[in-house]
Structure 1
């Protein structure tokens, strides 16, 4: 599936996902997960990248983030991926690529933020690892229910309401949309929002057909 060149919109939410090379496991034990989160927390704070939600799975990660500058996302992800790969390869005494290509991302219209954060935190439930999102230790679900201010400041949703919301199953259409837009890089947003974003960024955000353009007969 073709994807457009990466786009970043300052102060708007983005969905990020990054997978292990050839779908290999990137986390073997809890020490690995702790190291990844340490790197993520340190560098996201340094580069002014707000983490709304996250989830660490065995062979991939998901996040909803809000960049404060146009470089916040790239600087954070690049250093985290590099440092974690060095740590992981040294631990296993191996060489080679840990990550599959560059990370995927897409801009989210703010009306999709709450649903996207739930999508991220319900990953372990969909995978059959837990029955309730907050039971998964390696996601933001429990933190967002108990004490997080970042999610609630941006959405206005209260912790009790958030617990109830992420306990509900997502609509299948949303799952498809999240996956498709993240792979292609096209914003998950209304056409009106996309048009405004195109005007602001001065670039086309529509996927063009692959291959040579069709020859049109002149009449």
Structure 2
């Protein structure tokens, strides 16, 4: 049976998740993660896109991404192929690297964008055994950049969008955004989102 084409709207962000097959590790060290970012940079030169939140875990990664020029599937296909080729060569790996096609859900409005980004950034502290005590201590998440007010190190990463969407009483600044994420850490909306998308660990 042919695959059903995913919905794509160039005006909306999508929450994308890519998992390792059988939840195996697809990132073993800093070099692997550096190669993923190199791959993202390369893909962005071919099909420009914008990411406003990311988190790279051992066996999966999250992107909050908008592809304005080509269907998102074309962007993700290039990213996944490039990284898979690297991984197979480096680790002499055969078989399927990824669990299945990437998960993607369109995010419909500003509050949903803020909520999904908070969920993405909470991954390292939401595992059964937290990887870090605080979100800003995890080195492979964009939350650290927001929290420390670091300029974007990647041409595809825009750190201005999420703060600009904050509702009152939050300031529309990076400090306001990090406070929003911290307030949402134990919020029921996040728990419902995790349950609905089966992304819990």
Q: Structure 1 CA distance, aligned partners of 2:47 and 2:28?
A: 28
Deviations 1:173-216 (A, max 9, x none): 43332552588xxxxxxxxxxxxxxxxxxxxxxxxxxxxxxxxx
- Pairing 1:180–2:178 present: no
Stretches of structure 2 lacking an aligned partner (at least 5 in a row): 165-171
Which aligned segments of 4 or more residues in structure 1 are displaced greater than 4 angstroms? Answer: none
Match of residue 109 from structure 2: 110
Count of aligned positions: 179
Secondary structure of the residue that 2:104 maps to in structure 1?
strand
Structure index of larger Rg:
1
Q: How does 1:1-219 map to 2 (within 5 A)?
A: 5-71=5-71, 73-111=72-110, 112-127=112-127, 128-145=130-147, 146=149, 147-148=151-152, 150-153=158-161, 155-156=163-164, 157-168=172-183, 169-178=185-194, 180-181=196-197
Q: TM-score, normalised by structure 1?
A: 0.74
| Conserved 8 A contact 2:52-2:64 | yes
* Offset of residue 50 of structure 1: 0.4
* Offset of residue 99 of structure 1: 0.6
Q: TM-score, normalised by structure 2?
A: 0.80
Say what the alpha-carbon RMSD is for the aligned residues: 2.1
Q: Structure 2 CA distance, aligned partners of 1:170 and 1:45?
A: 38
Q: Structure 2 CA distance, aligned partners of 1:52 and 1:75?
A: 19
Which of 1 and 2 has higher RCO (CA within 8 Å, sep 6+)?
1
